[in-house]
């Protein structure tokens, strides 16, 4: 049997929105994106990377 299922990846904007809800472990009132720990995400076909 051949599978025709495809995986739909979230957009980088969606991933950044999710990350904006992750608090910094030391300063929980600031998110990891507000603090600059994660500034950009991208997907190269096989892997996610962050900057």
User: How confident is the prediction along the chain (51 residues), in pLDDT tens digits per residue?
Assistant: 666 778 888 999 999 999 999 999 999 999 999 999 999 999 887 788 888
Quote the longest CA-to-CA distance of the chain.
51
- C-alpha 12/C-alpha 16 separation (Å) is 6
For residue 1, the model assigns a pLDDT of: 63
pTM for this predicted structure: 0.75
For residue 6, the model assigns a pLDDT of: 80
Identify which of 21, 11, 18 has the alpha carbon closest to the alpha carbon of residue 42. Answer: 11
């Amino acid at each position: 049997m051949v599978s025709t299922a495809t995986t739909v990846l979230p957009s980088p904007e969606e991933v950044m929105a999710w990350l904006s809800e992750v608090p910094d472990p030391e300063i929980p009132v600031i998110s990891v994106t507000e603090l600059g720990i994660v500034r950009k995400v991208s997907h190269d076909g096989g892997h996610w990377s962050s900057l």
